[in-house]
Structure 1
């Protein structure tokens, strides 16, 4: 893969997350009925950062959790021959019923990962709303899923790949486009 463009650097990622944190607070009129749920791996790190920013702004912590839907996705189910989707890990220790669940992911592409995450959340209860926060929306949706909070819209072609790097796993924060 060849890097074509560096879209967001560390400061731009931080600014985008700060803006999303404020938008979450504003849209939900506070955080009392909210649960942030990060989609592993990078979405979980971004959710942790959003939770820290929200706590700083609101003066109290927001409920949070994580989902690992790797084996929940329908395309992986077909590869592994399973008739039933499997959730690899659900780490949400809060009742989601009547809460505003905010799913957090790094890149929104086809929408299949988000759909699997919504299915996993719905298995836990009936939230008041399910909202979606993504650092990057690159388009090419296959399902009718639209993010509520977007760090950056990056139009791409289907032969390009968006790479999100986070300090926790990659040693730096950045978003870049690579050609396949």
Structure 2
């Protein structure tokens, strides 16, 4: 599990920024944006970044299949060994990378994550992806973009832009892992 502030186990409470219905609408909107920008689901492969990017990728794949009438492959991309902060946080659980049948070569790969913050997780994902094959294009879909980028990385598809202070913590709760869908914010400006 990542040590980034948005990747640890989320708190059970905080100020609710997105309800379950809001999360559902955001996933649906991202699915439609993906279909529109790709002109359909041909050659799309969704790869979720653990932990919460994986169930989000699977949800997106289901929504895409509902619209397109056919399955859209989804898998998982563990980026642990590609992170640049392993010296500071050396103990991380390795999670499986699951590449759908057919691979990623010459496909449009959509990396899916819950929160985009510094951009370092996505940089690691791009490195991990290059070891798996050569996609035709790579896009990024995130449920929440909270700003504070440290690298020149930007999401192509965003469920919600949430400007935050760096002292705040954005937590995504998903039914598959947490028993409910919500986006919470905790913390605030230090006193």
TM over 0.5: yes
- Note the alpha carbon deviations across 1:137-164, whole angstroms, 9 max, x for none: 0000001000000000000001000010
Q: Is the 8 A contact 1:3 1:179 kept in 2?
A: no
Deviation at residue 40 of structure 1 after TM alignment:
1.0
| Unmatched segments (≥5 aa) in structure 1 | 82-86
The answer to whether 1:171 aligns with 2:179 is: yes
The answer to whether 1:122 aligns with 2:130 is: yes
Deviation at residue 97 of structure 1 after TM alignment:
1.5
Moved more, 156-165 or 60-69: 60-69
2: CA distance, partners of 1:123 / 1:102: 16
* Alignment partner, residue 84 of structure 1: none
Q: How many aligned residue pairs are there?
A: 176
Which secondary structure state, in structure 1, belongs to the residue aligned with residue 81 of structure 2? coil
Deviation at residue 3 of structure 1 after TM alignment:
5.8
Moved more, 2-11 or 131-140: 2-11
TM-score (normalizing by structure 2): 0.86
1: CA distance, partners of 2:171 / 2:75: 24
The answer to whether 1:62 aligns with 2:72 is: yes
Question: CA RMSD of the aligned region, Å?
Answer: 2.0
1: CA distance, partners of 2:122 / 2:23: 21
- Note the alpha carbon deviations across 1:52-97, whole angstroms, 9 max, x for none: 000000000112210122333110255439xxxxx75321033211
* Alignment partner, residue 39 of structure 1: 49
TM-score (normalizing by structure 1): 0.91
1: CA distance, partners of 2:169 / 2:129: 28
* Alignment partner, residue 6 of structure 2: none
1: CA distance, partners of 2:179 / 2:13: 17
* Alignment partner, residue 95 of structure 1: 103
Q: Is the 8 A contact 2:50 2:95 kept in 1?
A: no
The answer to whether 1:20 aligns with 2:20 is: no
1: CA distance, partners of 2:186 / 2:57: 25
**Pair 1:27–1:107, CA change in 2 (3 A):** same
* Alignment partner, residue 145 of structure 2: 137
